[in-house]
């Protein structure tokens, strides 16, 4: 018995630490938003969930009779009650609406893969959700394994401590990075704290949830030193939120804090703690996290003020906690006083938020404050309104996509791959900035329903929990878990926080803990009554018992298969990526055969990715240019064409794939198909200057081929189209309504670029419109690229010469000295025009 107990305890501890590490350490790996870091997490989750599934599988099998010593040592099921515990845990999980909703959401993403516009991205998004599902199971099961322990050693309590420590560490890293003390690449975002997330708004949303958990731990702690430490941690969380300058989080913070305090039994303590750290953080923000602080690197004075605030918050709370503990039994708070305290908190929070959002009155003292303090400058009405309008446009464009595929969705990553075709102006946004719409776009209406279900059950659970908050000691702690989840869900409605897998894991871990607490406190929708199962006579294993075991065993088997599938798919994709890196290295070394083998193997391993066929097609075209054998060239061209078509099928809304296919058609002499494919590519990205440049470049090359074939009339049509496309690009911005024109992104402006001007100038010259061609080519000759500049001067010299300007010949000859490529261009010009 001693050995079995020790082994069981060791397994529980290892699994608990591993599970907490999977969730708590996730933010420190760039928020797990990138595939490389997420792949490692997939391996770890698959291994842990497979191990736990096997152990529970053995435990459920042993439910009905005597167990062997070996199995007892592994599972702890040394009697009928022990085996029953494992069976109970599985049944509780299967009856959890949160688990069922997440399983349905994962299934929806899996089904959307079959109609995705980017198969590779859709596959990995599905694997991400499979990771979330298995992580949810791990948290739920681990919480159940410690159900009989004291609160101080229970998994739920240690989970909250882990989340609080993780959040405080993220906050501290962000603050110290802003002060120049901790070197963190991309830890700052235009003067805003981004910490390990590299994006301020998502960091602030994460810290908003950890702040609520930290305050709960500080308020419930009966020991002065831990209480003071937790209060200081809450101060750091709030200070980092201020430094993030996140308007959305600041707008939601009053509601979330008020909701948190509403469900606490010790409202006075919670109110004083909240108000205290809020006042200290706001008072010291200009000295610790304001952009002016970042001008001095490293800024040890700002670090000193940060530490001063930390110790002041802790000391003040230690003093209060010590006094309140002595008077807690005699100083009960009346209901009237509780309402006054809650109202006072709301007033403080509204004043704090109003200070940031106060309208800018010209000529007032507020102008001086805003001009000197970027913390307030981000909250000026002009900037706030522009950001809000931009997101409304994202939502409108998302609804356009939803209308086309309301049921099936566009597959995981569908917005990222398809939004340029639907965007209303030239913005860049890899996500919808609304996770509800993002799920609807990607997984269809069934995915949206699956994501809404746990949100609705969470609200219902909080309402029922509020009614019993005074009858259960764990109610206040569970309320903190629920409000932290609510905070994440609310902010996900206006930003892309849940695109960070670390935040999504955090949310589902909170929901797993909340779901288990629903079962324990019996306030959930399908609260499982333990006494019904424990009422069965010991040692009996009836037919009904067997039938109830079968679903549990099947579920554990499916979860085990899902774990293996997650690890196997991730390993396959990662191996393909390694082969692609080897391909790049071989190309740089000039090892043609090895390079081709590497990229072919990558394509075989990851047959869902379009980048490998594209890379192989481009490499084959390079090899074809070096091969003197005409038959070999034809074979290589045919292989490149098939690879490009394959890439278009795998990532059908990628304009780059279509443009490459168009150029291969052009190289093979299929001129009509080349123009048709280039037109389609441009339509997929109508607000991109690059699309207009690529289309006109292909059209000019098609016109040259038509002229060399003697198809002068067809060439004239193609060349006039080049001029029309150039004019369309310049006039496209003017077609926008004033509301959208004000949101125009100047960084990706639709202007007459040198590349666009070169193609238009070439078309005008071949149409013998010499004056227009000179204007366009003069603009093209301003290119910063030496080769493009030389080609533009060559064409400009020819245009000047043909229009009667004798200085054109000298410019032409000067440009020819730039290299053999320019000389080859001149040889082609002599075939097209008479000099």
pLDDT greater at residue 52 or residue 409: 409
Model pLDDT, residue 543: 36
Four-residue CA torsion sign, 625, 627, 630, 635: negative
3-state secondary structure (DSSP) of residue 651? strand
Model pLDDT, residue 170: 98
If pLDDT is split at 50, 70 and 90, which confidence band does 532 have? very low
Query: Using CA atoms, how far apart are residues 207 and 175, in angstroms rounded to an integer?
Result: 13
Kindly report the three-state secondary structure assignment for every residue of 565-613.
Answer: HHHHHHHHHHHHHHHHHHHHHHHHHCCHHHHHHHHHHHHHHCCCCCHHH
Q: If 0-12 CB within 10 Å is exposed, 13-18 middle and 19+ buried, where does residue 543 land?
A: exposed
Model pLDDT for residues 582-621, shown as the tens digit of each residue: 999 999 999 999 999 999 999 999 999 999 999 999 999 9
Which of 49-63, 239-253, 496-510, 549-563 shows the lowest per-residue confidence on average (mean pLDDT)?
49-63
Residues 6 or more apart from 433 whose CB is under 8 A from it?
391, 394, 395, 494, 495, 496
Which of 52-66, 214-228, 459-473, 575-589 shows the lowest per-residue confidence on average (mean pLDDT)?
52-66
Closest CA relative to residue 609, chosen from 119, 38, 39, 113:
119
Which of 247-256, 334-343, 765-774 shows the lowest per-residue confidence on average (mean pLDDT)?
334-343
Four-residue CA torsion sign, 36, 38, 39, 43: positive
pLDDT average, residue stretch 135-144 = 92
For residue 438, is pLDDT > 80?
A: yes
Model pLDDT, residue 11: 76
Query: Using CA atoms, how far apart are residues 145 and 206, in angstroms rounded to an integer?
Result: 27
Which of 113-117, 132-136, 492-496, 556-560 shows the lowest per-residue confidence on average (mean pLDDT)?
556-560
Model pLDDT for residues 661-702, shown as the tens digit of each residue: 999 999 999 999 999 999 999 999 999 999 999 999 999 999
Extract the tokens encoding 398: 């998302």
pLDDT average, residue stretch 240-266 = 94
Query: Using CA atoms, how far apart are residues 126 and 133, in angstroms rounded to an integer?
Result: 11
If pLDDT is split at 50, 70 and 90, which confidence band does 723 have? very high
Contact between residue 390 and residue 745 where contact means Cβ atoms under 8 Å apart: no
Which of 194-198, 368-372, 758-762, 787-791 shows the lowest per-residue confidence on average (mean pLDDT)?
368-372
pLDDT average, residue stretch 217-238 = 93
For residue 491, is pLDDT > 80?
A: yes
Residues 6 or more apart from 413 whose CB is under 8 A from it?
116, 118, 121, 122, 124, 125, 442
Closest CA relative to residue 721, chosen from 682, 752, 666, 764:
764
If pLDDT is split at 50, 70 and 90, which confidence band does 321 have? confident
Query: Using CA atoms, how far apart are residues 520 and 428, in angstroms rounded to an integer?
Result: 47
Kindly report the three-state secondary structure assignment for every residue of 481-523.
Answer: HHHHHHHHHHHHCCCCHHHCHHHHHHHHHHHHHHHHHHHHHCC
Contact between residue 621 and residue 668 where contact means Cβ atoms under 8 Å apart: no
Extract the tokens encoding 538: 């010991």
pLDDT greater at residue 88 or residue 775: 775
Query: Using CA atoms, how far apart are residues 387 and 258, in angstroms rounded to an integer?
Result: 26
Model pLDDT for residues 754-812, shown as the tens digit of each residue: 999 999 999 999 999 989 999 999 999 999 999 999 999 999 999 999 988 888 899 99
> 689-693, 732-736, 817-821 — which one is most confidently predicted on average?
689-693
Which region holds residue 832: left if phi is over 0, alpha if psi is between -120 and 50, else beta?
Answer: alpha
Model pLDDT, residue 358: 42
pTM of the model: 0.89
Residues 6 or more apart from 739 whose CB is under 8 A from it?
389
Model pLDDT for residues 267-304, shown as the tens digit of each residue: 988 999 999 999 999 999 999 998 888 877 889 999 99
pLDDT average, residue stretch 411-418 = 96
Model pLDDT, residue 554: 80
pLDDT average, residue stretch 241-250 = 94
Which region holds residue 651: left if phi is over 0, alpha if psi is between -120 and 50, else beta?
Answer: beta
Contact between residue 31 and residue 501 where contact means Cβ atoms under 8 Å apart: yes
Contact between residue 134 and residue 566 where contact means Cβ atoms under 8 Å apart: yes
pLDDT average, residue stretch 53-82 = 53
pLDDT greater at residue 724 or residue 535: 724
Residues 6 or more apart from 212 whose CB is under 8 A from it?
256, 257, 260, 480, 483, 484, 487
- Omega of the bond leading into 298 within 30 degrees of 0 (cis): yes
Residues 6 or more apart from 491 whose CB is under 8 A from it?
201, 205, 208, 248, 249, 252, 497
Q: Which residue has the tokens 């990138």?
A: 34
If pLDDT is split at 50, 70 and 90, which confidence band does 834 have? confident
């Amino acid at each position: 018995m001693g050995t079995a107990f020790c082994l069981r305890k060791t397994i529980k501890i290892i699994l608990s630490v591993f599970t907490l590490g999977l969730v708590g350490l996730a933010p420190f790996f760039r928020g797990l938003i990138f595939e490389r870091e997420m792949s490692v997490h997939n391996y770890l989750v698959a291994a842990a969930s497979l191990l736990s599934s096997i152990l529970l599988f053995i435990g459920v099998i042993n439910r009905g009779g005597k167990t062997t010593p070996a199995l007892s040592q592994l599972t702890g099921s040394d009697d009928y009650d022990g085996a029953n515990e494992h069976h109970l845990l599985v049944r509780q999980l299967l009856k959890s609406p949160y688990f069922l909703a997440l399983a349905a959401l994962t299934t929806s993403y899996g089904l959307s893969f079959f109609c995705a516009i980017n198969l590779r991205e859709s596959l990995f998004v599905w694997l991400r959700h499979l990771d979330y599902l298995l992580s949810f199971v791990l948290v739920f099961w681990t919480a159940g394994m410690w159900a009989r322990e004291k609160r101080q050693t229970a998994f739920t309590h240690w989970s909250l401590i882990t989340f609080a420590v993780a959040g405080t560490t993220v906050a501290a890293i962000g603050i110290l990075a802003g002060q120049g003390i901790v070197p963190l690449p991309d830890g700052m975002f235009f003067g805003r704290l981004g910490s390990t997330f590299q994006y301020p708004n998502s960091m602030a949303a994460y810290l908003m949830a950890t702040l609520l958990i930290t305050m709960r731990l500080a308020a419930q702690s009966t020991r002065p030193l831990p209480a003071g430490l937790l209060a200081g941690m809450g101060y750091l969380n709030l200070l980092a939120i201020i430094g993030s300058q996140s308007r959305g989080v600041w707008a939601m913070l009053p509601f979330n804090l008020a909701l948190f305090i509403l469900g606490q039994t010790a409202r006075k303590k919670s109110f004083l703690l909240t108000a205290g750290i809020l006042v200290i953080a706001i008072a010291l923000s200009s000295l610790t996290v304001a952009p002016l602080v970042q001008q001095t690197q490293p800024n040890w004075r700002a670090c000193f003020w940060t530490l001063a605030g930390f110790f002041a918050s802790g000391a003040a709370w230690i003093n209060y906690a010590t006094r309140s503990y002595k008077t807690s039994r005699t100083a009960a708070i009346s209901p009237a006083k509780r309402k006054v305290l809650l109202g006072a908190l709301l007033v403080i929070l509204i004043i704090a938020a109003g200070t940031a959002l106060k309208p800018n009155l010209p000529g007032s003292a507020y102008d001086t404050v805003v001009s000197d303090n970027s913390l307030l400058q981000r909250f000026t009405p002009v900037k706030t309104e522009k950001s809000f309008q931009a997101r409304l446009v994202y939502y409108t464009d998302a609804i356009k996509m939803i209308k086309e595929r309301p049921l099936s969705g566009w597959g995981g990553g569908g917005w990222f791959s398809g939004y340029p075709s639907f965007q209303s102006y030239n913005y860049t946004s890899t996500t919808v900035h609304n996770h509800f719409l993002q799920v609807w776009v990607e997984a269809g209406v069934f995915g949206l329903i699956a994501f809404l279900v746990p949100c609705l059950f969470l609200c219902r659970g909080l309402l029922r929990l509020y009614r019993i908050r005074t009858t259960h000691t764990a109610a206040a702690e569970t309320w903190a878990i629920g409000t932290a989840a609510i905070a994440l869900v609310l902010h996900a409605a206006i930003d892309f926080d849940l695109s960070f897998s670390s935040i999504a894991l955090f949310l589902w871990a909170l929901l797993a803990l909340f779901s288990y607490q629903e079962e324990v406190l019996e306030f959930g929708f399908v609260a499982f009554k333990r006494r019904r199962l424990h009422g069965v006579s010991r040692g009996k294993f009836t037919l009904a018992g067997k039938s109830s075991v079968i679903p549990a065993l099947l579920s554990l088997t499916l979860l085990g298969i899902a774990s293996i599938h997650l690890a196997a798919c991730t390993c396959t994709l990662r191996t393909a990526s390694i082969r692609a890196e080897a391909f790049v290295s071989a190309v740089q070394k000039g090892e043609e055969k090895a390079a081709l083998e590497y990229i072919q193997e990558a394509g075989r391993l990851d047959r869902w990715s379009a980048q490998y066929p594209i890379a192989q097609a481009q490499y084959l075209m390079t090899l074809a240019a070096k091969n003197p054998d005409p038959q070999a060239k034809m074979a290589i061209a045919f292989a490149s064409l098939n690879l490009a078509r394959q890439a278009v099928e795998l990532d059908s809304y990628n304009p780059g794939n279509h443009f490459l296919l168009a150029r291969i058609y052009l190289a093979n002499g299929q001129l009509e198909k080349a123009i048709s494919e280039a037109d389609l590519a441009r339509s997929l990205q109508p607000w991109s200057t690059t699309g207009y440049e690529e289309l006109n470049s292909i059209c000019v090359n098609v016109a040259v081929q038509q002229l060399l074939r003697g198809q002068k009339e067809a060439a004239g049509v193609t060349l006039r189209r080049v001029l029309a496309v150039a004019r369309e690009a310049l006039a496209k911005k003017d077609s926008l309504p004033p509301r959208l024109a004000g949101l125009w992104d100047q960084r990706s402006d639709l202007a007459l670029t040198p590349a666009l001007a070169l193609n238009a100038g070439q078309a005008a010259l071949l149409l013998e419109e010499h004056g227009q061609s000179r204007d366009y080519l003069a603009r093209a000759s301003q290119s910063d690229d030496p080769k493009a500049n030389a080609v533009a001067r060559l064409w400009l010299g020819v245009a000047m010469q043909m229009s009667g300007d004798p200085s054109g010949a000298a410019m032409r000859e000067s440009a020819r000295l730039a290299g053999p490529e320019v000389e080859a261009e001149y040889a082609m010009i002599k075939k097209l025009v008479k000099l």
